[in-house]
Homo-oligomer: A and B are copies of this chain.
Amino acid sequence: MTQSEKHERMANTIRFLSMDAVEQANSGHPGLPMGAADIATVLFSRYLKHDPKNPNWPDRDRFVLSAGHGSMLLYSLLYLTGYEDITLDEIRSFRQLGSKTAGHPEYGHAAGIETTTGPLGQGITNAVGMALAERLMNARYGEDLVDHYTYSIAGDGCLMEGISQEAIAFAGHMKLNKLIVFWDNNGITIDGSVDLSDSTDQRARFEASGWNTLAIDGHDAEAIADAIEKAQASDKPTMIACTTEIGRGAPTKVGTNKVHGSPLGAEEINATRKALSWPHESFDIPSEILDDWRLAGLRSTKARAAWEERLQNTEAELRGAFDRAIRGDLPGGLETAIADYKKKLADEKPKAATRKSSEMALEVINGVVPETIGGSADLTGSNNTKTSQTDPVSAENFSGRYVYYGIREHGMAAIMNGMALHGGLIPYGATFLVFTDYCRPAMRLSSLMGLRVVYVMTHDSIGLGEDGPTHQPVEHLAALRAIPNHYVFRPADACETVECWQLALESRDTPSTLALTRQGLPTVRVDFEDENMCRYGAYEVETASAEPVVTIFATGSEVSLALKAREALEAKGQPTRVVSVPCFELFEKQSDAYKSAIRGNSKVRIGVEAAIRQGWDLFLDRDDPFIGMNGFGASGPIDDLFEHFGITVDAIVSAAEKRLAALDRG
């Protein structure tokens, strides 16, 4: 049998597994797996450095199926090369509840799924993050431990999404030459021919951002191999434009949008069997072909053993650091450093914006935790994310720790996801809170995948002032709290800020957003407490002088307003307690007893947050007053705005009194 015949039958295995699984599920996308089978076969059988029996080998090549709807391509590859998580039974259960073979590849469902894809453009940007992480880790731990490629298959959908431009421009600028992207150039989108909506010269576009590009017949195995070798040797990231036929092999539907997202039907599958001379039954893979695949899956066994040996021979301190970073454990010194810093804060009681408090906290953290990689989407001086330890990362200096992401919020978020997925690093990145809207698809994926990514979001309310309503978040706290598995922290002062940072770093399976002020705030946590009070999500920051009549719940910049309102109410004879609420999600996780105690039994409850009320029923009853925003903000100096929108000490006091009077009237 020639090499070419062997390739053909290996690739056809992917085609038939994909057709069969989609047919069985009566749902799915056969077109891409059939079209990209040759690319994937060459890559996985001849180039990809991976070990199916040790799928978490840190120095494996990463493979990202950015066109996630073609999930059967990935599941076929994982099954065929011998990943234990993906059995033939799993493939038979494609798209069924509880199976590992979900409609789109879901990170965590099975080893070998490097990231969750499906929302287009995310995968290719994750791949950029992985390729960046590889260079960063390589600079830290050396060629012996970190030296791998990142491959991705992207379709027209990924390349039309705006985020792909952010990814491409960033990767080109950073000269991430170990990143290799295959463009599955099949000329078809769901609506029909790509010509309906696009006429971009993709090679020229990539080249404009500093990429190496190649163009090949995506069904010619030797051309694919040749291109991969050229790409591996390039000093730039490489895009390989692979001309393919979507649904390759299906006699009547090939090359059309009919094969993109629907089962082919028994008739077409049988016709494909004839056309490709494939006499086997559904899900039946002849053992000699499976053997070829399994052998291919063993290809990197020696390389992995050699790597293990190198790791064993690595100097103990470096090896320990590498192991710890890969495990994702925090360094031992962090807790002490934070405790010392909190003592200092209790002494000094700084008046600072929480964005500044975040910088101060980061100065402590970055001094102890070497794996943090900071950054900002071109708002470094405003987000206060750069500390003394963090030199800029550049194509010439991957030992840096600070990324100038450019004005690319969405790309930043998805690149951070890629870094977190790669392992060994803890990325944090920043922009204004209002621009979480730009990051949202990637933030959702941080949550869905359960990644430790920290979003530093400053300018968190109308308190930013003159920039006006386009820059003033009002609905963003609510919108972020709506995302499952996402901590939204809104600290009230420097002490809460470092506590929230600590929680974010300790949170290995839940991403965090820190909402931070532009404006200066007084210290509200005046006494040192060793315990991280923010861990409870909400806690009494000031007790009432007697059995409380009023409880004020507030977050962030409004906690100091609440404390002043408390003083005024106490002076008027109304014992008032103040609950600071740095994190709704953590509060929800507390025991019923704790929650009930924090809500308390005071006659009046008030919520205060310079944002909309939505979500505050966690603390308030329907008739309880809320002091916040009812619509968009406005451009003006901060004091004018808080006055104009009625978020003032007086407003809190008067709402409490009004509510008391109403209750007393009965």
Binding site for B on A (CB under 8 A): 25, 27-28, 68, 95-99, 102-104, 106, 116-121, 156-158, 160-166, 169-170, 172-173, 189-192, 196-202, 204-205, 207-210, 376, 378-382, 392, 404-411, 434-435, 437-438, 440-441, 444-445, 447-448, 465-471, 474-475, 478-479, 481-485, 612, 614-615, 617, 621-622, 630-632, 634-637, 640-641, 644
Contacts and interface: CB of A to CB of B under 8 A. Distances in A.
Nearest to A405: B197
B198 A103 contact: no
A434 B630 CA distance: 25
Contacts of A162: 121, 161-166, 408, 410-411
26 contacts: A95-B636, A97-B640, A97-B644, A98-B634, A99-B635, A103-B467, A103-B635, A106-B635, A118-B471, A120-B407, A121-B162, A160-B169, A164-B165, A165-B165, A169-B200, A172-B199, A173-B200, A190-B382, A197-B404, A197-B408, A200-B210, A202-B208, A437-B441, A479-B482, A482-B612, A622-B622
A227 B230 CA distance: 41
A482 B482 contact: yes
Nearest to A411: B162
Contacts of A468: 95, 102-104, 106, 118
Contacts of A406: 160, 189, 196-198
A108 to B, nearest CB: 11
A188 B84 CA distance: 52
A447 B190 CA distance: 30
B441 A441 contact: no
Contacts of A170: 197
Contacts of A173: 197-200
Given A103-B468, A197-B378, 4 more contacts: A28-B466, A95-B468, A192-B404, A614-B614
A438 B404 CA distance: 23
A237 B230 CA distance: 36
A484 B474 contact: yes
B97 A637 contact: yes
Contact of A448 (B106, B190, B469): B469
A210 B200 CA distance: 7
Given A102-B635, A437-B440, A437-B441, A392 B196 contact: yes
Contacts of A438: 119, 161, 440-441
A482 B160 CA distance: 29
A250 to B, nearest CB: 19
Contacts of A632: 447-448, 484-485
B482 A614 contact: yes
A471 B617 contact: no
Given A197-B405, A198-B173, A97 B634 contact: yes
Contacts of A474: 484
Contacts of A121: 162
Nearest to A629: B484
Contact of A190 (B157, B190, B380): B380
Contact of A444 (B192, B201, B209, B437): B437
Contact of A95 (B103, B104, B189, B466): B466
Contacts of A631: 484-485
A117 B467 CA distance: 11
A353 to B, nearest CB: 16
Contact of A467 (B98, B104, B485, B614): B104
Nearest to A109: B635
B614 A376 contact: no
Contacts of A200: 169, 172-173, 208-210
Given A98-B636, A197-B404, A438-B441, A482 B471 contact: no
Contacts of A209: 199-201, 205
A102 B438 CA distance: 23
A56 B415 CA distance: 44
Nearest to A599: B622
Taking each of A25, A160, A196, A382, which has the highest tally of chain B beta carbons within 10 Å of its own beta carbon? A160
Contacts of A165: 162, 164-165
